[in-house]
């Protein structure tokens, strides 16, 4: 339903995106990830028609999405964009902000929808509060409810939980993505946070050096990140030669190993010298040194600086990475 064909874009001379091809089906959830400045927000703005592209085309079904040179007011009714800055009416209440786009000719329906959306963002208690008195995180939640009130078929989210505290973030993520799935609303989320991605995205797009370098179902990409850059977007990761972790292996092929996939062993494996242990709540993240290269691994206790330990990888992990 959404399709980008050979899209390239530059704000000035330097290209930001090159030859982007992408399809998003009805109800599908896509995460766009990549390091800061790789063009995630730019991609969302192109999809929404906020930027003029000279090369390539964007389609919604059969219809071409035209940029700002053709549409004075950007955006299409079936698509909503929740940007990093929220477009709210500060002097009216939360309730009024959410219901602004609902029809007053159906008051019962309007009330029901407003209540449903207030529940989704967990702000029933603030229904009558003026938006100007809300915190940044609360305003972001109202902005979310406001765009959903307009029943989009495609929702574009740019760092949607950036302002929201961790306590709320998890329940809001669940509420939002369940809400979207139930209503078959497609969603493209630009994010840095793997907590937005792993449980909710059907597919992940990775941007690097102006291009899409991966476009895969989430589980497949996590299990087979191919590159350290991709794995690192999900958490601490390493790239190590197989024959270093398994001395009997006769391949120097390097595989990706996430920090939690290393097992500390007494006598065999890759020998590293402990540099530092960081408390992570459920475990410690240990930074070790292997031939002047940092290696990251998890351990249930802190390890003493200067201690030599051996790191091992399970056969299952090894096979998984070598097969792909």
Ligand X SMILES: Nc1ncnc2c1ncn2[C@@H]1O[C@H](COP(=O)(O)OP(=O)(O)OP(=O)(O)O)[C@@H](O)[C@H]1O
Q: Which is nearer to ligand X, 68 or 90 (CB)?
A: 68
Tokens of 37: 């400045």
Alpha carbon distance 272, 294 (integer Å)? 9
How many CA atoms within 13 Å lie on the side-chain side of 86? 26
Q: Per the structure block, which two tokens stand in for 253?
A: 């092929």
Q: For residue 208, list its beta bridge partners.
A: 211
The CA distance from 51 to 212, in Å, is 19
Chosen residue from 30, 39, 113, 270 binding ligand X by CB under 6 A: 39
- Exposure on the CB side of residue 95, measured as CA atoms within 13 A: 10
Pick from 173, 168, 171: nearest CA to 157: 173
Is residue 46 a contact partner of residue 210, using CB atoms and an 8 Å limit?
no
* Contact stretch for ligand X (CB under 6 A) within 36-44, 176-184, 219-227, 257-265: 36-44
Q: Binding residue for ligand X (CB under 6 A) from 22, 30, 41, 200? A: 41
Q: Which of residues 182-221 bind ligand X (CB under 6 A)?
A: 190
Tell me whether residue 10 or residue 249 sits nearer to ligand X (CB atom).
10
Site for ligand X (CB under 6 A): which residue of 6, 26, 37, 294? 37
Q: Is 16 in the site for ligand X (CB under 6 A)?
A: yes
22 binds ligand X (CB under 6 A): no
Two structure tokens written together for 299: 């351990």
160 near ligand X (CB under 6 A): no
Q: Is residue 11 a contact point for ligand X (CB under 6 A)?
A: yes
DSSP 51-80: S--SEEEEEETTEEPP-TTT-SS-S-TTEE
Is 36 a residue that touches ligand X (CB under 6 A)? yes
In whole angstroms, what is the distance from residue 252 CA to residue 240 CA? 9
d(CA 212, CA 113): 38
- In the complex, the smallest distance separating the C-beta of residue 192 from ligand X, rounded to whole angstroms, is 6
Of 38, 65, 201, 259, which one interacts with ligand X (CB under 6 A)? 38
The interface region with ligand X, picked from 32-40, 161-169, 250-258, 306-314 by CB under 6 A, is 32-40
Work out which of 40, 173, 210, 321 binds ligand X, going by CB under 6 A. 40
Q: How far is the CB of 44 from ligand X (least distance, A)?
A: 8
**Complex with ligand X: residue 41 or 317, whichever CB lies closer:** 41
- Which CB, 162 or 241, lies closer to ligand X? 162
Q: Is the dihedral of CA 209, 6, 200, 41 positive or negative?
A: positive
Q: How far is the CB of 251 from ligand X (least distance, A)?
A: 36
The binder of ligand X chosen from 31, 42, 138, 189 (CB under 6 A): 42
Residues engaged in binding ligand X (CB under 6 A): 11, 16, 34, 36-42, 190
């Amino acid at each position: 339903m959404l399709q980008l064909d050979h899209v390239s874009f530059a704000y000035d001379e330097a290209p930001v995106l090159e030859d982007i091809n992408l399809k998003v089906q009805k109800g599908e959830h896509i995460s766009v990830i990549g390091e800061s400045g790789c063009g995630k927000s730019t991609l969302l703005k192109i999809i929404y028609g906020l930027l003029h592209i000279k090369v390539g085309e964007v389609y919604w079904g059969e219809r071409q999405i035209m940029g700002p040179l053709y549409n004075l007011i950007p955006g299409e009714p079936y698509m909503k964009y929740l940007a990093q800055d929220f477009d709210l009416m500060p002097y009216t209440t939360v309730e009024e902000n959410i219901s602004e786009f609902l029809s007053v000719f159906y008051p019962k329906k309007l009330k029901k929808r407003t209540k449903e959306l207030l529940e989704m963002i967990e702000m029933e208690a603030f229904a009558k509060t003026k938006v100007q008195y809300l915190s940044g995180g609360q305003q972001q939640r109202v902005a979310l409810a406001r765009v959903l009130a307009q029943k989009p078929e495609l929702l574009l989210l740019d760092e949607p939980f950036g302002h929201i505290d961790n306590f709320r973030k998890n329940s809001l993520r669940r509420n939002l993505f369940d809400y979207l799935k139930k209503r078959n609303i497609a969603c493209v989320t630009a994010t840095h946070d793997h907590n937005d991605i792993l449980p909710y995205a059907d597919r992940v797009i990775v941007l690097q050096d102006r291009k899409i370098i991966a476009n895969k179902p989430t589980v497949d990409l996590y299990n087979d990140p191919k590159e350290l850059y991709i794995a690192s977007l999900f958490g601490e990761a390493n790239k190590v030669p197989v024959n270093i972790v398994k001395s009997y292996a006769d391949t120097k092929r390097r595989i990706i190993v996430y920090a939690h996939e290393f097992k500390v062993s007494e006598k065999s494996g890759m020998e590293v010298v402990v540099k530092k242990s960081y408390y992570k709540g459920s475990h410690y993240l240990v930074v070790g040194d292997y031939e002047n290269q940092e290696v990251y691994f998890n351990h249930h206790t802190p390890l003493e600086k200067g201690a030599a330990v051996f790191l091992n990888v399970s056969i299952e992990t090894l096979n998984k990475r070598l097969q792909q």
